[in-house]
């Protein structure tokens, strides 16, 4: 990696907040989306953590991650109920105060009649001091950004609109590109030539993912990733050549 590439690296962590994911009651639906979307725009997701709805755990994770990555995204815990403690925990992590924010309250009133804006719903307008709001065109209750931490809802379709609202403001790097080659081989049969290709192309990242096809037959996806399209093409070409040669040998041996 050249120094110029290094300077362009933009990294992120995702912090998923929610007892329901850790208990197995709810399957997380946000990690895959955030991972794919950040990769597309050139932000490298380097770590994901899932923690319970507990203040100490949230504060510790936010502070560990915001020191280490360009951006931290959080999902979950910003609704109106007693177990929604993300905003208060993030304020605590930054050592700032938190109160009902008039901008956020105005957003809630676009959707909720004032008579229904009870104390619980007003919790959704509690925003740490100094944060900017992240718009939520679906249900209005906003997310927010404080320094490099972007706080989003846990409900997937709301999280997705918040992510889109937040992305334009963020720095991006050179996106990691990828190409997949279906190996038509067991990974153990091609591991050695594959490792040789990985050594030849240190700027590429080459992954091997075994799976069973719909007929129960074992096969392997080889994924080549690189930021430089030339490196991607060259490493991908080498993998295709290796896989083709392997298939030829297998056919020759009658196997």
* 207 lines the binding site for a copy of itself (CB under 8 A): yes
* 217 lines the binding site for a copy of itself (CB under 8 A): no
Mask for 93-112, x = binds a copy of itself (CB under 8 A): -------------------x
Binding to a copy of itself (CB under 8 A): which residues in 5-44?
16, 19-28, 31-39, 44
* Sole binder of a copy of itself in the list 1, 129, 182, 195 (CB under 8 A): 195
Q: Which DSSP category does 220 fall into?
A: E
Q: Do you know the residue count of the chain?
A: 255
- In sequence order, the 6+-apart residues with CB closer than 8 A to the CB of 109 are 117
Kindly list the distances between the CA atom of residue 135 and the CA atoms of 37, 140, 142, 152, 226, in Å, as whole numbers in the listed order: 18, 7, 5, 10, 33
Mask for 125-154, x = binds a copy of itself (CB under 8 A): ------------------------------
* Sole binder of a copy of itself in the list 85, 170, 181, 194 (CB under 8 A): 194
Q: Where are the alpha helices (DSSP H) in the chain?
A: 3-8, 19-22, 31-41, 55-68, 86-94, 102-109, 119-122, 156-166, 187-200, 229-252
* Sole binder of a copy of itself in the list 9, 88, 100, 187 (CB under 8 A): 187
Round to whole Å and give the CA distance between 162 and 136: 6
Q: Which two tokens stand for residue 218?
A: 């074992």
Residues that bind a copy of itself (CB under 8 A): 16, 19-28, 31-39, 44-53, 57, 79-84, 112, 116, 118-121, 123-124, 155, 176, 178, 180, 187-189, 191-192, 194-195, 198, 205-211, 223, 225
């Amino acid at each position: 990696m050249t120094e110029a590439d290094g300077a362009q690296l933009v990294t992120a962590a995702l912090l998923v907040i929610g007892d329901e994911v850790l208990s197995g009651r709810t399957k997380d639906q946000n990690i895959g989306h955030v991972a794919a979307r950040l990769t597309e725009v050139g932000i490298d997701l380097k770590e994901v953590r899932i923690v319970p709805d507990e203040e100490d755990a949230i504060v510790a994770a936010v502070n560990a991650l915001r020191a280490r990555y360009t951006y931290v995204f959080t999902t979950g815990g910003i609704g109106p109920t007693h177990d929604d403690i993300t905003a208060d925990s993030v304020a605590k992590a930054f050592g700032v105060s938190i109160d009902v924010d008039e901008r956020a309250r105005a957003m809630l009133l676009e959707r909720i009649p004032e008579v229904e804006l009870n104390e619980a719903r007003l919790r959704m307008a509690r925003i740490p001091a100094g944060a900017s709001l992240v718009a939520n065109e679906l249900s209005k209750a906003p997310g927010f950004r404080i320094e490099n931490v972007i706080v989003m809802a846990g409900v997937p379709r709301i999280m997705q609109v918040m992510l889109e609202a937040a992305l334009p403001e963020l720095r991006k790097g050179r996106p990691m590109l990828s190409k997949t080659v279906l190996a038509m081989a067991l990974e153990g049969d091609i591991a050695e030539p594959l490792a040789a290709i990985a050594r030849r192309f240190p700027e590429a990242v080459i992954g091997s993912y075994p799976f069973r096809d719909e007929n129960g037959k074992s096969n392997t996806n080889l994924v080549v990733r690189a930021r430089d399209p030339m490196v991607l093409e060259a490493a991908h070409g080498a993998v295709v050549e290796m896989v083709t040669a392997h298939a030829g040998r297998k056919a020759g041996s009658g196997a």
